[in-house]
Amino acid sequence: MGDDGGKERALSPAAQSAARSASPAQLEMVFQEHARSMLRTAFRVTGSLADAEDVLQTVFVRLAARSGGTELAGPGIGAYLRRAAVNAALDLMRGRKRRRAVALDDDAGPEPADDRADPERRQQGREARERVRRALSKVTPKAAEIFALRYFEGLGNQEIARSLAMSQTAVAVTLHRTRSRLRQELAVLPGGLS
């Protein structure tokens, strides 16, 4: 979520209000309920278990910093936390790209097991995911967020539109433009489209 403006941007007004007034016990309950799915979300974006854990910690530290006294609950908290994880993961990747200090896959965690795939296919899959992650770091934050929610998290356009307070048409257009841009980026990256 990058700079301070990004932190505020990532929180919906309802989530900001709820987070500001959450007790430590409520934050712990929310953590217990949503940490696993947020970790999975962050892993899909970063490709690294260590980075996904950092993302999870970042999101909850930010929530705790805003805590106060009433309840952090409601039907939208899961969607908010998923978006926060996507945004924090994308910010982590962009920051790493700017620093160029660490490759995206240096401390990658275990890949989901697929007994049917041979080692060569698994390696090709890891390389393809890495190329997509690098290309995704070159599009706008909003486009990357929409793409990640659609293709990493499997949300439908209607659910994304509702979550981001956008029209379905705007989501569809953004996805179309992002896919086109990613195709261009993937064509120029080392090991690009074959």
Give the CATH number, domain containing residue 185.
1.10.10.10
Q: Scanning the structure block, which residue is given the tokens 């309840």?
A: 71
Domain that holds residue 143: 118-194
* Domain boundary pick from 48, 82, 109: 109
Q: What is the pLDDT of residue 102?
A: 36
Q: Which of 61, 63, 56 is nearest to 42 (CA)?
A: 56
Q: What is the pLDDT of residue 100?
A: 45
134 in the same domain as 77: no
96 in the same domain as 123: no
Question: How many structural domains comprise the chain?
Answer: 2
- For 43, the 3-state DSSP assignment is helix
The per-residue pLDDT for range 66-122, each reduced to its tens digit, is 755 434 667 778 888 888 888 888 888 877 665 443 333 333 444 444 545 578 888
Q: What confidence category does residue 185 fall into, taking pLDDT thresholds of 50, 70 and 90?
A: confident
What is the rounded CA–CA span in Å between residue 33 and residue 31?
Answer: 5
141 in the same domain as 75: no
142 in the same domain as 74: no
Burial of residue 29, with CB atoms counted within 10 A of its CB: 0-12 exposed, 13-18 middle, 19 or more buried: middle
64 in the same domain as 133: no
123 in the same domain as 105: no
Q: Which two tokens stand for residue 157?
A: 């356009």
96 in the same domain as 22: yes
190 in the same domain as 167: yes
Label residues 139-158 b or e (16+ Cβ within 10 Å = b). Answer: bebebbbbbbbbbbbebebe
* pLDDT above 90 for 167: yes
What is the rounded CA–CA span in Å between residue 182 and residue 138?
Answer: 9
90 in the same domain as 5: yes
What is the rounded CA–CA span in Å between residue 177 and residue 68?
Answer: 41
